[in-house]
Amino acid sequence: MPSKSTDAKDLLKKLSETVGVSGSENEIREVIKKEIEKYADSIETDSMGNLIATKKGTKQGPKIMLSAHMDEIGFVVRYIDRDYINFTPMGGIDDKILLSMPVVVHSAGKKLYGSIMAKPPHLQEREEREKPVKMKEMFIDVGMKLNKTPDKDGKMELEKLGVKKGDIISFDSHFRELQGSFVSGKSFDNRAGCVTVIEAFKQLKDFAGTVYAVFTAQEEVGLKGARVSAFRTAPDVALIVDTTIAGDLPNIMPQECSVETEKGPAITLLDAQGRGLITPQKVREWLTETAKKEKIQHQIELGTDGGTTDATAVTLTREGIPTGLISIPTRGIHSPSEVLSIKDLEGAIELAVVAVKSAGQYFKGK
């Protein structure tokens, strides 16, 4: 039989190489559904595009939302300029990583491969070369000739191929095994969280309560799916799984980011200086005491001053839902070459399983 690490790694590869830019999660949702449906008592897709799988425990207990967002950052076609594509981001993407990046334009059921380009430095004035190129100055080249005039029907050549405004554009990158336990690929944020929820859901058998495995849409563009799904399922407690910044890199001081790879998943106490999640004391006790009791290697994280996760949206749903966050240390977040350790992924799966099983000791069903 394959090892647990092989299972997790293979599933991460499959999910990472599947497309699911925010607002266009159909393909990734179907892949996840096939992975999880035979382990669920029921499964549904809501009007927002969230996938919700339900499993009832062997005895009475709390309703538990175990969730990860399934969407990824990317782009959409904004405008076709003489058979070159002007684009806009979906989610937070740093302009500095974009030049020469290979991408895939998804149009009319076809894939058009291209690269992000800009005016060559050889043709730039000195003042231009000294400034970083902004995204609005870039375009996508899919191998067309510069076409200044449309045909008699008013269409450019790209439009004849089916390209239109609003078509999604994804990173063209592939899953790679690196040294030791490390792997790289696109959209580990948050396909790693999806792997954690899927594998934990599969393993859950003897537990109290009801588990909702939720794979949310549109997290990268405003935590939208989490708000809807948390309202719908109305859990007594929620546990979100996402990635977090790993600080074991050159030029990063421990006081800036103390989370490291291969030291286990992080239990996040707060993020965005408290403007996002502030983990309730009871949830902190639940996760930290359970991790210690089960001897699961883990870290404690106070997140960066920047972004937040679905946990913030869930916390603020209905009259307030006690919410925790398990974070998987990841390098290069929001890039086409994110890096994580399979050991940390396995630790997140293990922590999610024991947390769900122990939830009834800390939270009561309504």
Give me the catalytic one of 25, 219, 220, 350: 219
| Pairing, β 51-56 against β 208-216 | antiparallel
| Continuous H helices in 17-146 | 26-36, 126-129
Residue 339 near residue 184, CB atoms below 8 Å: yes
**Which DSSP symbol is given to 311?**
H
Strand extents, DSSP E, the chain? 42-45, 51-56, 59-69, 74-81, 84-90, 102-107, 110-117, 139-141, 168-171, 176-177, 182-185, 208-216, 237-245, 266-270, 299-302, 323-331, 338-341
Residue 189 near residue 36, CB atoms below 8 Å: no
Q: How far apart are CA 344 and CA 358, in angstroms?
A: 21
Taking residue 105's Cβ as centre, other Cβ atoms within 10 Å add up to: 25
Q: How far apart are CA 22 and CA 291, in angstroms?
A: 33
Residue 249 near residue 101, CB atoms below 8 Å: no
Residue 285 annotated among the catalytic residues of the structure: no
As annotated, the active-site residues are 219
